[in-house]
């Protein structure tokens, strides 16, 4: 797509910058790590996005994870249109939220769930509940894990924080993070040592089930199980953040690939993205005994005007209903094929890289010789190589996450045409990265 016009996107970006900080409503969208004009999208259909200048792209961002079925899936659109025509919000209990909660409980380790509107709300509330349940304040998190923009959890977080090189953020008082212990990911000895020193005061460990916000850094075999064991030895809880991996890495989430097989479950778990089907819906859930501490059943307060919104829960429920075991088998095959195409092209161009995966999710680690197991390793990436690759792919009609620290997402709609567009673009982009 040489000579792509971005005139309208550029004009909208100018207008946006006058009325919104940085011209965006979420930082990574501004393309700061890769340069160039952020594309203002107008339409999505299956694996494709079309921008306001009429350029088409094969989409490997999938709205940062939610679009498991591809854009504008007819069944989701139909269900949403019917739900909208019955009213957009009641602020009362309604059947779709019960059905969505049942679908989540049915396929995950959670015995009960509370629906909220964003992943940030889910992790923030799970943290409060863990502290309320244990009567303790300290929390263990891992460098490079992103749990939304929760004050206490932004220290050494991944996603936009690492993309922009912000060490935590101004506006979070020191006393708010004073109880946050940040440890290196995949380091069981560091967790043991922290518990040996502070075990009595630690409410919980929170971890991404498989981190996807420092690039994809899968847990080493047994790491999540060790977290569960260590937490329980000290009367603390394990919160598994499956906002990104839930209903995405595998049908129930990453837990399907470790805890379910190994016979353990997190005490609390958070979900978002896929379960909202492209609408603002998220959840936290877990063991009944803990969840029953939540208001109005128990004393730990949590609430939301739009929580369990009938349109959002209908979109999420329809998505989960269509997400059959066969769909995940196909998604995994597509994911493998994309990884193979990318890796072969990079190898052919002499670009050093690693492809790292958890279930259907994966990312490319640029310029590293060995598997990356923690945040320090992920930060050694050659981000300039990625930026050159990204820009070339974008010019050729392939839309990638605009940061080397983000996961690629495929959808059930990524077909032969989508993959051949990718394959055709790869040699030029790989040469640009070399
Ligand atoms: N937790 C994880 C693992 C995430 O990847 C994200 C978002 O990317 C969040 C929490 C926050 O979710 P949201 O952006 O919906 O607030």
Phi/psi at 359 (5° precision): 60, -130
Q: Which of 241, 258, 267, 395 is catalytic?
A: 241
Q: Whose CA is nearest to atom 6 of ligand 1?
A: 148
Tell me how far the alpha carbon of residue 147 lies from the centroid of ligand 1, in angstroms. 5
Indicate the pairing of strand 202-208 with strand 56-59. Answer: unpaired
Rounded to whole angstroms, the Cα distance separating 416 from 365 reads: 25
Rounded to whole angstroms, the Cα distance separating 365 from 227 reads: 26
Tell me how far the alpha carbon of residue 407 lies from the centroid of ligand 1, in angstroms. 12
The DSSP code sequence of 342-367 is HHHHHHHTT--EEEEEETTEEEEEET
This prediction has a pTM of 0.96
Q: Which of 57, 59, 258, 273 is catalytic?
A: 273
Q: Are the C-beta atoms of 196 and 234 separated by less than 8 Å?
A: no
Rounded to whole angstroms, the Cα distance separating 358 from 341 reads: 18
Question: Residue 169: is its pLDDT beyond 90?
Answer: no
Q: Are the C-beta atoms of 313 and 98 separated by less than 8 Å?
A: no
Tell me how far the alpha carbon of residue 205 lies from the centroid of ligand 1, in angstroms. 17
| Cβ 148 under 6 angstroms from ligand 1 | yes
Closest by Cα among 374, 58, 369 to 216: 374
241 has catalytic annotation = yes
| Cβ 120 under 6 angstroms from ligand 1 | yes
What long-range pairs does 151-154 form, CB within 8 A, spacing at least 24? 151/176, 151/177, 152/127, 152/176, 152/177, 152/179, 152/180, 153/123, 153/127, 153/180, 153/206
Q: Cis peptide leading into 296, omega within 30 of 0? A: yes
| Cβ 147 under 6 angstroms from ligand 1 | yes
Report percent pLDDT > 90 for the chain: 92
Q: Model confidence at 171, in pLDDT bands (50, 70, 90)?
A: confident
What pLDDT, on a 0 to 100 scale, did the predictor assign at position 1?
45
Q: Are the C-beta atoms of 31 and 37 separated by less than 8 Å?
A: yes
141 has catalytic annotation = no
Tell me how far the alpha carbon of residue 123 lies from the centroid of ligand 1, in angstroms. 8
Q: Which of 57, 146, 185, 399 is catalytic?
A: 146
Question: Residue 164: is its pLDDT beyond 60?
Answer: no
267 has catalytic annotation = no
* pLDDT tens-place string over residues 26-69: 999 999 989 999 999 999 999 999 999 999 999 999 999 999 99
Total residues found in the chain within this entry: 434
* pLDDT tens-place string over residues 191-221: 999 999 999 999 999 999 999 999 999 999 9
Tell me the average pLDDT of the chain: 95
- In this prediction, residues 255-273 reach a mean pLDDT of 97
| Cβ 119 under 6 angstroms from ligand 1 | yes
Domain ranges, ordered by start, for the chain: 7-60+325-433, 74-322
Q: What atom in ligand 1 is closest to the CA of residue 242? A: 3
Rounded to whole angstroms, the Cα distance separating 310 from 80 reads: 9
Considering only 153-157, 165-169, 405-409, which range has the smallest mean pLDDT?
Answer: 165-169
Closest by Cα among 388, 386, 402, 395 to 421: 395
Q: Whose CA is nearest to atom 5 of ligand 1?
A: 244
Q: Can you name the CATH fold of 7-60+325-433?
A: 3.90.1150
Strands (E) located in 249-380: 268-271, 282-286, 353-358, 361-366
- What tokens does 281 get? 């819906």
- Distance spanning both ends of the chain, measured CA to CA: 21
| 3-class DSSP state of 134 | helix
Rounded to whole angstroms, the Cα distance separating 416 from 421 reads: 9
74-322 is a CATH 3.40.30.10 domain: no
DSSP 8-state assignment for residue 294: B
What pLDDT, on a 0 to 100 scale, did the predictor assign at position 162?
56
Q: What atom in ligand 1 is closest to the CA of residue 282? A: 15
């Amino acid at each position: 797509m040489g000579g792509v016009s971005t005139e309208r996107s550029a004009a909208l970006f100018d207008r946006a910058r006058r009325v919104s900080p940085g011209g965006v409503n979420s930082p990574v969208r501004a393309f700061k790590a890769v340069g160039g004009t952020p594309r203002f999208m107008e339409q999505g259909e299956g694996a494709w996005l079309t921008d306001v200048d009429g350029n088409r792209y094969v989409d490997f961002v999938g709205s940062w994870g939610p679009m498991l079925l591809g854009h504008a899936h007819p069944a989701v659109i139909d269900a949403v249109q019917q739900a909208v025509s019955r009213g957009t919000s009641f602020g009362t209990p309604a059947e779709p939220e019960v059905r969505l909660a049942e679908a989540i409980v049915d396929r995950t380790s959670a015995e009960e769930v509370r629906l909220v509107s964003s992943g940030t709300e889910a992790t923030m509330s799970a943290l409060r509940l863990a502290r309320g349940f244990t009567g303790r304040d300290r929390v263990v998190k891992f460098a490079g894990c992103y749990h939304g923009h929760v004050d206490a959890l932004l220290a050494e977080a991944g996603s936009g924080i690492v993309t922009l090189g912000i060490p935590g953020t101004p506006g979070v008082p020191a006393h708010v993070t004073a109880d946050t212990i940040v440890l290196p990911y995949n380091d069981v000895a560091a967790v043991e040592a922290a518990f040996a020193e502070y075990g009595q005061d630690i409410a919980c460990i929170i971890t991404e089930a498989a981190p996807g916000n420092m690039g994809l850094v899968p847990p080493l075999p047994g790491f999540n199980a060790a977290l569960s064991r260590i937490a329980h030895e000290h009367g603390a809880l394990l919160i598994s953040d499956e906002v990104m991996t839930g209903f995405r890495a595998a049908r129930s989430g990453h837990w399907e690939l470790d805890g379910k097989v190994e016979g353990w479950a997190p005490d609390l778990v958070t979900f978002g993205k896929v379960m909202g089907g492209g609408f603002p819906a998220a959840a936290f859930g877990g063991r009944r005994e803990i969840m029953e501490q939540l208001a109005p059943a128990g004393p730990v307060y949590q609430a939301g005007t739009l929580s369990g919104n009938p349109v959002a829960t209908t979109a999420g429920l329809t998505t989960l209903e269509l997400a059959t075991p066969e769909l995940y088998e196909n998604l995994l095959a597509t994911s493998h094929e994309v990884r193979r195409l990318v890796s072969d092209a990079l190898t052919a161009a002499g670009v050093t890289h690693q492809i790292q995966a958890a279930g259907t999710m994966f990312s490319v680690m640029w310029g590293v010789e060995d598997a990356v197991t923690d945040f320090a390793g992920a930060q050694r990436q050659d981000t300039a190589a990625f930026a050159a690759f990204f820009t070339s792919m974008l010019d050729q009609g392939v839309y990638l996450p605009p940061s080397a620290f983000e996961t690629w997402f495929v959808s059930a709609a990524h077909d032969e045409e989508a993959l051949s567009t990718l394959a055709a673009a790869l040699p030029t982009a790989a040469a640009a990265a070399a």
